[in-house]
Structure 1
Amino acid sequence: MLIKAAAAALRQVFSPPMRAILLKSLGLTLGLLILVWFALTRLIQWFQSSHHIAADYPMLDTIAFFLAGAGLFVAIAYIMPAVSILVAGFFLDDAAAIVERTDFPNDPPGRPLPWGQALLYALRFAGLALAVNLVALVLIFVPGVNLVAFFGANTYLLSREYFEAAASRFRPLAEAQAMRRHFNLTTLSGGAMLAGLMVVPIVNLIVPLFGIALMVHLHKGLSRKTLLEAPAATGRLR
């Protein structure tokens, strides 16, 4: 089920309807990252000038500026997933609707989240992703631990958030959470796939749209499996 869902999700991400959302999401993400870079470099320059580093130690100032730039590059790489999740969060319902309409045309459409709730969801998801990646950044000098912490935390976070986003279009959130826990192995496997893509530069920018498309397919497949299991369980009870 997972491989089939992933293939369908990848096809969807680059389809014409989804491509428009992808381009808007990428443009806004890159714009925000440029603003963050500009703000942080100005902050470093202000710190150096306020402490008279450039005037008193010009060579040290140059070295410090280049080291800070390299550090910023690493930091931006770590916060990039959170920024892309924040931006794409505003388009998840649109992306899910496209997948439902094109791949499941005979099924009833899902219900989009109210705008205010979608905003809070995007902010919460991005905040959690930022926290996870900042912890991984702090652990960057601990060999092995960094990768395990990053992969494990992102596997759980991405599987939970994207599956519940897809499932809550059709069922109450509490029921979507219960369904995720019931099919924990399948949803975590999907999250592991997303976490693996998250470590690939540039590719991680498509993870939000690929993630929601993947989880729409998984939710549809697991919903059908639940319906098939219910009559069998009823028969056993008899």
Structure 2
Amino acid sequence: MLNAVLTSLRDIPTPPFRAVLWKSIGLTLALLAVVWIGTFAVADYLVAMLPVEWQTAADWLAGLLLFVGLGFLVAPVTALFAGLYADEVAEVVERTRYPTERPGVSQSLMIGFLSALRFTGFVVLVNIAMLPLLFLPGINVPIFLIVNAYLLGREYFEQAAMRFRSPEDARVFRSAHSGKVMLGGLTIAALLAIPVVNILTPLYATALMVHVVKLAERQDRA
């Protein structure tokens, strides 16, 4: 598992990954910027409706809440883009790291996007439910890591596994190797928690889970 993590991190800046890397960064930043601008405009409108003496404090509070909220949005945005370039990243990993093995079969763009959209909605709901935990120091970070490790690990592993098996078989395969999936998910969630660097999460997570799938397959054959 450690080798899979280190290999995935080393591969990110290499030439085969760069095109996907820039698309990943561009799409993530673009969507987060749109959300920020739109939400800030709404907040400004609401603050302007308050009495003048409350507006300065309300501006500060709104800015703080928006900043925190945007941090929680990174997880669902990451999940959304997983369906857009998961196959492209997986193909690069399979071609460069497993050239002698049978390549996977890509899903159609629409199927991948709809699957990611469905999962994104679920991640949004879960992270909204977790927002009150922000005010509980000592348990907020561990819970954030554990919940997102499970959710993102499951999603990225099944995306990689479905290149070789049906969705139902991918879920069964994931359940059979839940320990490895959770461990890999923890490294994804840890990267997700690092500001700025977390925009690399989709690229790293997809590459990592291709390696985890290959590792799990080798163990099943042993």
- State the TM-score bracket (shorter-chain normalisation): over 0.9
Q: After alignment, is 97-106 or 150-159 more displaced?
A: 150-159
TM-score by length of 2: 0.93
Question: Moved runs in structure 1, 4+ residues, more than 6 A?
Answer: none
Pairing 1:5–2:33 present: no
Kept in 1: contact 2:24–2:203 (CA 8 A)? no
Kept in 1: contact 2:82–2:156 (CA 8 A)? no
Give the structure 2 partner of residue 43 of structure 1.
42
Offset at residue 3 of structure 1 (A)? 0.6
Q: Deviations over 1:3-38 (max 9, x none)?
A: 111111112222112121111111121111111111
Give the structure 2 partner of residue 166 of structure 1.
160
Offset at residue 64 of structure 1 (A)? 1.2
Q: Secondary structure at the match of 2:55?
A: helix
Read off the aligned partner of 1:106 and give its amino acid letter. T
| Structure 2 portions without partners, runs of 5+ | none
Q: Deviations over 1:24-74 (max 9, x none)?
A: 11112111111111111111222233x3x3xxx434212211221121111
Kept in 1: contact 2:157–2:213 (CA 8 A)? yes
d(CA) in 1 for partners of 2:115, 2:95: 23
d(CA) in 2 for partners of 1:222, 1:154: 21
Pairing 1:157–2:151 present: yes
The 5-angstrom pairing of residues 59-98 of structure 1 reads 59-98=53-92
d(CA) in 1 for partners of 2:152, 2:82: 13
The 5-angstrom pairing of residues 2-41 of structure 1 reads 2-41=1-40
Give the structure 1 partner of residue 126 of structure 2.
132
d(CA) in 1 for partners of 2:46, 2:6: 49
d(CA) in 2 for partners of 1:41, 1:31: 15
Offset at residue 151 of structure 1 (A)? 1.7
Q: After alignment, is 137-146 or 165-174 more displaced?
A: 137-146
Question: What is the percentage of aligned positions where both structures have the same residue?
Answer: 39
Kept in 2: contact 1:159–1:188 (CA 8 A)? yes
Offset at residue 223 of structure 1 (A)? 0.9
d(CA) in 2 for partners of 1:25, 1:216: 18
d(CA) in 2 for partners of 1:85, 1:162: 8
d(CA) in 1 for partners of 2:211, 2:13: 16
Kept in 2: contact 1:136–1:147 (CA 8 A)? no
Read off the aligned partner of 2:150 and give its amino acid letter. Y
Offset at residue 88 of structure 1 (A)? 4.0
d(CA) in 1 for partners of 2:83, 2:2: 24
Q: After alignment, is 178-187 or 141-150 more displaced?
A: 141-150
Read off the aligned partner of 2:127 and give its amino acid letter. N
Kept in 1: contact 2:152–2:188 (CA 8 A)? yes
Counting matched residue pairs gives 222
d(CA) in 1 for partners of 2:165, 2:176: 15
| Structure 1 portions without partners, runs of 5+ | 229-238
Q: Secondary structure at the match of 1:91?
A: helix
Larger Rg belongs to: 1
Read off the aligned partner of 2:187 and give its amino acid letter. M
d(CA) in 2 for partners of 1:62, 1:108: 61
Offset at residue 227 of structure 1 (A)? 1.4
Kept in 2: contact 1:81–1:204 (CA 8 A)? no
Give the structure 2 partner of residue 196 of structure 1.
190
Kept in 1: contact 2:74–2:192 (CA 8 A)? no
